[in-house]
Every structure is written in C-alpha cells, then in structure tokens.
C-alpha cells in the first residue's frame, strides 16, 4: 500500500480526554478515531489489525468444530423478558421504534441463539453442536474509558455450544479453553486463567486476564501454579483450587475472554429441549465463550509499546514491512529503486506499507514509522544505494543492518 494514497494520517496531538496508552497511540497513529465516548471508527490501518485478530480467532474456532454465523443486533424484547434480563441487565440499550414497539440492542446473544437452536436441535442425534459469531455488540455503559478496553460499541466473538449432558459440556469447555490459549499464543501473549463469579447459574466462570498496568480488573495470581482468582471471589482466606495453598500476588489485568457453563439456564427459559435415546424430552446444556477482539487490539498496544509508539507482534501487525524512501527532490534514482522494491515485495507476498510521500522529511517519516510500529522497517536512500543496499531495522531492536538490495526479499522470507 502506498502511503500517499492511503486513507490514513498520523497526528502530533494526543487525545485530550483519555490518558490510556492504547487510546493515545492508536488515535495518534491513525488506527482509530473516537466518534463519541466509547465509540470508535477503525480506519483502514486499524481495520487491518482488527481483521488479523479476528481471522486468528476464526481459524481457531473452526478448528474446534464451531460454525460461523451472524446474529442480529436488534433483538425482540419478548426474548429478554423470557430470560428476565430486560430489566436486570443494566447495560442494555433499549430502542423505542417510532412504530410503537421496543427492541433490545444486543450486548450478548443468548436470547437469540437459544431460540435459534430449537430450529436445529431436536434429537440427541443433533448434539453436540457449536456456533460462533464475530460482530459488533453494544453496552450502555455509564463510563466508557481506556480507549478500546471498555467501549459502548465494540467487536466481540461469542461461541455457543450445545450438549446432551453436563459431562459433554465440561469436555467441550476444556477444548474451548485450549483454543483460547492457542489464539493468545499466536497473538504473542499469555492470558492468566482466572476464576470468577459464575452469576446465578454456575459455581465459577473463567476469565482470561492479561496483566497490564492500565487493567481495570484486580486479580490474585497463585504464585505456585498461576491459576488466579478475580477480586470479586477473592478473600484473604482464599486457597488455590489447584494447589490448595494460599500464596497470591495481586495484579492489575484486563479481561480478554470469559467462558461460562450456562448449563440449562437459557434452555429452560427459552424452551430448548431434545429427545433423548429413551424418547424422553430433556433440556439442552449450553456453554458460552466470549472474547473481545477490539479489546485485544487495545491490550496488545498496552503491552507492546515504547515511548516512540507501538511494537506490533507480527500476527497482528497491519503490514509486515514499512518501506521508507528517502528521496530528496533530485533523487529520482532512489524513488525508482524504492518503487521497484515495493513491487517486488508485493509480488513476493510480503505485506508492505510504502512511505512514498514526497513532502515529508526523513525525521517525520521515522517518527511516523516508530509510532505505527510495523515489525520491520526498510530504508532506501542515496546513501544505502551507494552501497547497493537497504537499511533493515526491526521495531523491537535499536540495531539497524545493511542488506544487499537484491537479497532483501530472500532475507525477509527466510526470517519470517
């Protein structure tokens, strides 16, 4: 992508009203724009990051046999009355249509997926099943804050699974947990498995928490095994479910996933049954497995940055290479070499952002490059060309190296 033609611009001005690292760097870097409190546009550069994260989630969900679908944001009020959440869910946006009815704007989709499952599941032969969707959800939060960490409108994956009994649910719950670990590993971080309140229908739920200074959750991590407890269920007498000792450290973290054994709570409220082998009608057991894709994008920035900007892990980076042409007014040779290298990189299947802007100084280009944080920077200039080379620098390393121009693609390919 040529930077001169890209719908993108960095800013020297930090956002006034949000001091979080992710809000500052993502807004200044031209990834996102705040439209109102807790509501962001994802500009093309930021959209690419979000799409990378969501594609990784998609691949790992497909691997565990879940089918992708799309559910509506507009949800019938009667479903929410049936589960008694129309009044009890504090963050529910309620819409009064001018045509005389009320609608819920989906913060979550149990009220949709459970009745939907009645059209697909009828017999024990239809179980187990799993579906997921990656889409925009809405919460009427009193205080949206910390950039992408807590929004009124946000991107989320939800997986829902359906089982004949509690044992089968438990089996899939463990599989889903492993898929979560695989997703986070591919994105370059580890999440802490954290016991949290299960609400009214389960002893525990489990959260996947990422340690960051700006995290809004407080968790207590077992010093022996790393199984953690959320503050809401932690007391000074707490012992680790795993180690049976009480040896904790307190830390701040952000929750990027939360999984629940819903069991029969929603199938009972919304009438989801199946016919067992003995002919009896039984309630379907359900699990739900949430993961915030836009929040993960914010967490990545909180974790991977320095004073100059973001340091994207390769799997989430919008492009792998930032190619910078330092062509003064009379160095058409530099521009020609850069243009050719840009074409060659694309042909080699390497995602490249090409800073071909004619009206920016070297200093401005380097500052922008550090800010947006692509994994590798290639500089081509009269000086590097005098040695028939380009300068290669990794964003997470201060050392630059000269690489012979006609070997750079091979070098990058072997390094991927």
Q: By the 8 A CB rule, do 157 and 172 touch?
A: no
Distance CA 312, CA 281 (A): 51
Query: Which one, 130 or 299, has the nearer CB to its own copies?
Result: 130
Query: Which one, 228 or 374, has the nearer CB to its own copies?
Result: 374
- Residue 115 CB, shortest distance to its own copies, in Å, is 8
Query: Which one, 37 or 400, has the nearer CB to its own copies?
Result: 37
- Residue 36 CB, shortest distance to its own copies, in Å, is 5
- Residue 235 CB, shortest distance to its own copies, in Å, is 33
- Residue 8 CB, shortest distance to its own copies, in Å, is 6
Cα dist from 350 to 90, 376, 397, whole Å? 46, 11, 20
Look at the block and give the residue holding tokens 């992708």.
68
Query: Which one, 123 or 388, has the nearer CB to its own copies?
Result: 123
The backbone torsions φ and ψ at residue 397, rounded to the nearest 5 degrees and listed phi first, read -145, 135
Query: Which one, 192 or 262, has the nearer CB to its own copies?
Result: 262
- Residue 383 CB, shortest distance to its own copies, in Å, is 26
Q: By the 8 A CB rule, do 380 and 341 touch?
A: yes
Distance CA 410, CA 392 (A): 13
Query: Which one, 65 or 271, has the nearer CB to its own copies?
Result: 65
Token readout for 407 is 């070997």
Q: Kindly report whether the peptide bond that precedes residue 311 is cis, defined as omega within 30 degrees of 0.
A: no
- Residue 158 CB, shortest distance to its own copies, in Å, is 13
Cα dist from 32 to 40, 49, 183, 297, 371, whole Å? 6, 11, 23, 11, 13
- Residue 242 CB, shortest distance to its own copies, in Å, is 33
- Applying CB under 8 A, the residues found at the interface with its own copies are 1, 4-9, 11, 30, 33, 35-36, 39-44, 46-47, 50, 65, 67-76, 93-99, 103, 105, 112, 116, 119-120, 122, 125-126, 129-131, 135-136, 138, 140, 142, 152-153, 359
Query: Which one, 94 or 231, has the nearer CB to its own copies?
Result: 94
185: left (phi over 0), alpha (psi -120 to 50) or beta: alpha
Distance CA 182, CA 175 (A): 11
First to last CA, the chain: 20
Candidates 135, 129, 301, 275; CA nearest to 213 is: 301
């Amino acid at each position: 992508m040529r930077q001169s033609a890209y719908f993108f611009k960095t800013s020297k001005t930090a956002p006034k009203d949000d001091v979080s690292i992710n809000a500052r760097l993502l807004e200044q870097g031209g990834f996102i724009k705040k439209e109102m409190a807790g509501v962001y546009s994802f500009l093309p550069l930021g959209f690419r990051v979000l799409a990378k994260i969501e594609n990784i989630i998609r691949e790992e969900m497909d691997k565990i046999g879940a089918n992708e679908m799309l559910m509506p944001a507009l949800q019938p009020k009667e479903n929410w009355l049936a589960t008694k959440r129309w009044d009890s869910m504090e963050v529910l946006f309620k819409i009064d249509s001018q045509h005389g009815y009320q609608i819920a704007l989906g913060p979550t989709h149990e009220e949709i997926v459970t009745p939907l499952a009645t059209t697909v599941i009828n017999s024990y032969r239809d179980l187990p099943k799993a579906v997921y969707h990656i889409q925009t959800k809405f919460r009427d939060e009193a205080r949206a804050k910390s950039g992408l960490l807590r929004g009124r409108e946000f991107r989320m994956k939800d997986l829902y699974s359906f089982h004949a009994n509690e044992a089968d649910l438990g089996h899939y719950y463990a599989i889903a947990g492993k898929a979560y670990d695989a997703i986070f590993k591919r994105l370059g971080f580890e999440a802490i498995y954290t016991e949290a309140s299960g609400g009214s229908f389960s002893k525990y739920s489990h959260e996947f928490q990422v340690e960051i200074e700006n995290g809004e959750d407080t968790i207590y991590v077992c010093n022996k095994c790393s199984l953690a407890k959320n503050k809401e269920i932690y007391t000074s007498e707490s012992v680790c479910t795993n180690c049976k000792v009480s040896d904790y450290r307190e830390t701040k973290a952000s929750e990027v996933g939360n999984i629940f054994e819903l069991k029969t709570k929603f199938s009972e409220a919304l009438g989801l049954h199946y016919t067992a082998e003995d002919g009896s009608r039984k309630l379907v057991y359900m699990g739900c497995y949430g993961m915030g894709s836009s929040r993960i994008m914010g967490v990545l920035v909180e974790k991977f940055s320095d004073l100059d900007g973001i340091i994207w892990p390769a799997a989430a980076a919008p492009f792998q290479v930032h190619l910078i042409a330092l062509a003064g007014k009379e160095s058409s040779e530099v521009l020609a070499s850069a243009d050719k290298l840009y074409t060659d990189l694309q042909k080699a299947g390497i995602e490249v952002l090409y800073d071909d802007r004619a009206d920016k100084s070297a200093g401005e280009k380097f500052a922008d490059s550090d800010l947006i944080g692509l994994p590798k920077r290639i500089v081509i200039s009269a000086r590097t060309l005098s040695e028939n080379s380009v300068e290669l620098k990794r964003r997470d390393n201060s050392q630059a190296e000269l690489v012979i121009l006609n070997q750079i693609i091979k070098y990058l390919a072997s390094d991927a």
